[in-house]
Structure 1
Amino acid sequence: MDKETKELDLLIIGGGPAGLTAAIYAARAKMNMTLLESELLGGQVRNSYTIENYPGFKTIPGGELSDVMSEQAKELGAKIESFSKILNVVLKDDEKIIETKKFIYKPKAVIISTGATPKKLPVPNEEKFSSRGVHYCAVCDGAMYEGSVVGVVGGGNSALEEALFLTKFASKVILIRRYDYFKGEKATIDEVLNHPKIEVMYNWDLINVDGDQFVNKAFIKNTKTSEEKQIELSAVFGYIGTEPKTEKFKDFIKLTPQAYVITDENMKTNIKGVFAAGDVREKQFRQITTAVADGTIAALTAEKYIAEKRI
């Protein structure tokens, strides 16, 4: 059976803060648009236990902020297709085709806002113990370790915030940091260092995990002395950076060596009518506020592009 073809003004790929913001602006502009999201709306924000640096909210759970954004977009008339995975993509100056399981979309413009995913911990047993002691989302899996000792690997805001979140369940949180400093916000660092349940291990690196059916120990190595030792714990949560979701676009869009999309300040890529916004884009800072700004600019630039094509 042939798939139905849908011709649109704009197709937004990815439903995190950047994509949802773009959808809000596109809907307000009365564009014929659709947003495709392969999973739940909200992106990485949905996995944040609490957010305290988004203007307008002193504190708000990530899931709630995601819901507020998606509800606003829908109420304005944005068409959103969740759990809609992309099968094939063609992105050219004069032709854009995106195929999903149900439809073939032919939009005039595309905004790529697929975000990024956590980098896997580079240890031999990562795959063996995935979801059985090796995790990347404390909000999703932290409650499994009530009363247990858990480890957190990383040194940025995500690692610090998730370590604090895990203290709600774990009897102890061991923060494994390969350097002797953190890169997070001062207030968050101070909270971590003063928390009675958190032990910080500076200059140590995780080199493996092991156990029976589930993780029960980790092997760590001192980055200065090369000393190796074993510590007992029930899980490790990795926060060592992210990888952009650009696999479907790499044959068409110019990417950095790290696979982030290259754009100008107006979110334009190397393909006419294709824009990128949010964590998927090469930039210095990746925050909810910067993603929202990207989504705004991408939608407005796309609107201008589409209007000029009609002339």
Structure 2
Amino acid sequence: MNTIEFYGADWCPDCQRAKAYLKENDVDFNFIDVDLDKDATARVESINKGKRIIPTLIINGKSFTNPDNAILASTLGINKQGRVILYGANWCPDCQRAKSYLQDNGINFQFIEVDKHDWATQLVEQTNNGKRIIPTLFIDGKSYTNPDNAVLKDVLAIGNEAEQKVYDSIVVGAGAAGLTASIYIQRDRFNSLILEKKNVGGNAFLTEKIENYPGFTTISGSELTQRMAEQAKTYGAKIETGVTVQSIKKEGETFTLGTNMGDYSSKTVVLALGSTYRKLGIENEEDLIGAGIHFCATCDGAFYRDREVIVVGGGNSALEEGIFLASFCKKVIIVNRGNTFSASETYVEKLPSIKNIEVHMNKESVAFLKDENDNFKGLKVKDKSTNEENELYADGSFIFIGLIPNTADVKGFIDLNKRGFITTTGLGETNVRGVFAAGDCREGAIAQVAAATGEGVLASYGIRQFFK
């Protein structure tokens, strides 16, 4: 049968995104939690050359590492008209004809070779009263035996596409800033669409515990942002995940956003692009990312239960995640390049009471270490006062040294400062009329969830003023 094995974990943002997309399109899959199955973890590492990358999907024997929604759509035949599965063979002339017609008209289809799968041959025979007729297509669950191009055109409504909808506002990014902007836009009776390349919640989704958001003594980032998303949907917002915005163009009074899932149009745009984790840029770092080096304790910490890890950084994220890791790791080694921590005193004061945390101050990270099998071994550091070098050994490392704005795809379209942050004035206005910015990607923003929600409100007021 047409099978999908889905290796992932509940805490993984891309797993959440891929699972949601498959469920939305009624695609069945067998979910295997790598946290609960050591054999599953080993298989993921084997497929990905030693790296623990999830989600990893196996579709009819072929593996796909963290496929985006566009790849899932192409591989599984997902379309707005429904799912298209073509059973056939490469030697079959009518199969080639049907495949070419679908490809020429931009229709995704899953091609299953009956010569390679006995179950596929049996399905074709059952569908055609014992006869082996190919191509046999299933379109939105209904079978069609060797349909000609006219039938395909009619069934798939090829050439009859409705005029593209133009939204009042498209919000790029479903973090706290983007979700809040959408809530307020909808309350002002404008319609909005949120496009998110990964999962709802952004970086906040990955935060195990938030203790400084008004109204909650403590709440997980995933729960808080999911509540925001539900509120946005309640007011009528539409959210699409797995959509990467690759270009923005302005034609007259309308913006066209080119994405991996097609074009979208709107009258205004809110760029709540968020940020990604900054790297150290030292020897062996790139080789070991995903195989000993990580940037999210919530995501990858579970792999290091009862093991030793190194945390690089001295800000709020480094200490917060270090304390979290210490709750289940054997030992946590914190390496800070400064003489003092830049984190708030709340976190600094907790460190002395946590016995399995070891702190190294005024140490510069020089290189990551590998063992004889090229596996992660530790971190070489240099004392900034004496220039003495030492090697710290551990099973893995987590880097928390700041963020880089996700603005590469809008460079040249709007003004950015030297560090890549979007420059704004007033109510989050950029230099392009009708385009607003909010959250971590904006110059001067404070990287806190509470601040991000305020920025979303600010941008929504800019849009209200724009339409006035």
If the TM-score is normalised by the length of the shorter chain, which range does it land in?
over 0.9
Segment of structure 1 superposing worse, 46-55 or 226-235: 226-235
- 2:121 aligned partner: none
Give the equivalent residue in structure 2 for 1:181: 340
CA contact (8 A) 1:147 1:171 kept: yes
The structure showing larger relative contact order (alpha-carbon pairs under 8 Å, at least 6 residues apart) is 1
Residue 41 (1) aligns with residue 207 (2): no
Q: Match of 1:75? A: 234
Deviation at 1:143, TM superposition (A): 0.9
C-alpha distance in 2 between matches for 1:74 and 1:277: 20
Which of 297, 304, 311 is residue 458 of structure 2 equivalent to? 297
Residues 127-142 of structure 1 mapped to structure 2, 5 A cutoff: 127-142=286-301
Distance apart, 1:260 and its partner CA = 0.3
2:276 aligned residue = 117
Letter in 2 for 1:197: N
* 8 Å contact from structure 1 (residues 113, 279) kept in 2: yes
8 Å Cα contact 1:149/1:233 also seen in 2? yes
Provide, for residues 219-269 of structure 1, a one-character-per-residue CA deviation record: whole Å limited to 9, x for no partner. 111111111111111111101110000011111111111000001131011
Residue type matched to 1:218 in 2?
A: L
CA shift at 1:214, angstroms? 2.7
Partner of 1:20: 179
Structure 1 contact 148–170 (Cα < 8 Å) conserved = yes
Does structure 1 residue 88 correspond to structure 2 residue 247? yes
1:92 CA displacement: 7.2
1:219 aligned counterpart, secondary structure: strand
Give TM-score scaled by structure 2 length.
0.64
1:208 corresponds in structure 2 to 367
The number of residues matched between the two structures is 307
Q: Match for residue 253 of structure 1?
A: 414
Taking the aligned partners of 2:427 and 2:410, their CA distance within structure 1 comes to 19
After TM superposition, the structure 1 stretch with the greater mean CA deviation from structure 2, 216-225 or 4-13, is 4-13
Q: Secondary structure at the match of 2:177?
A: helix
Q: How far, CA to CA, are the matches of 1:27 and 1:252 in structure 2? A: 26
Tell me, yes or no, if the aligned pair for 1:24 and 1:72 is still in contact at 8 Å: yes
> 2-side partners of 1:24 and 1:173: how far apart?
40
Q: Does 1:169 align with 2:328?
A: yes
* Cα distance, 1:149–1:201 mapped onto 2, change above 3 Å: same
Question: How far off is 1:106 after superposition?
Answer: 2.1
**Contact 2:439–2:445, Cα closer than 8 Å, also in 1:** no
Change in CA separation of 1:268 and 1:93 when aligned onto 2, cut-off 3 Å:
farther
> Structure 2 CA distance, aligned partners of 1:295 and 1:89?
20
Following superposition, the deviation at residue 122 of structure 1 comes to 1.6
Residue 127 of structure 1: how far off its partner (Å)? 1.1
Task: For 2:272, give the aligned amino acid.
Answer: S
- The aligned counterpart of 2:49 is none
Cα contact 1:220–1:228 (8 A) shared by 2 = yes
- Once residues 176 and 132 of structure 1 are traced to their aligned partners in structure 2, the CA distance between those partners, rounded to angstroms, is 20
Summarize deviations over 1:144-176 as a string: whole Å, max 9, x none.
Answer: 111111111111100010000101221111100
Aligned pair in 2 of structure 1 residues 149, 90: CA closer, same or farther (>3 Å)? Answer: same
Query: Share of identical aligned residues, percent?
Result: 37
Higher mean C-alpha deviation, range 211-220 or range 63-72 = 211-220
Match of 1:278 among 426, 435, 439: 439
Matched AA of 1:35:
I
CA distance in 1 between counterparts of 2:254 and 2:185 reads 20
SS at match of 1:127: helix
- Counterpart-to-counterpart distance in 2, 1:213 and 1:194: 36
Separation (CA, whole Å) in 2 of partners of 1:117 and 1:130: 14
Q: Is the 8 A contact 2:378 2:395 kept in 1?
A: yes
Aligned partners of 2:426, 2:313: CA distance in 1, in Å? 30
Instruction: Tell me the amino acid that sits aligned with residue 176 of structure 1.
Output: V
**Aligned partner (choices 145, 167, 172) of residue 8 of structure 1:** 167
* 1:64 counterpart = 2:198: no
* Partner Cα separation in structure 1 for residue 375 and residue 298 of structure 2: 19
For structure 1, which segment, 142-151 or 210-219, has the greater mean C-alpha deviation from structure 2 after superposition? 210-219
The CA RMSD measured in Å over matched residues stands at 1.6
Tell me what 2:50 maps to. none
Letter aligned with residue 30 of structure 1 = R
Name whichever of 27-36 and 88-97 sits farther off: 88-97
Contact 1:93 1:272 in 2 (8 A): no
- Normalised by the length of structure 1, the TM-score is 0.95
Q: 1:92 to 1:209 in 2, by over 3 A?
A: farther
Residue 107 (1) aligns with residue 253 (2) = no
Show structure 1 runs of 5+ residues with no match: none
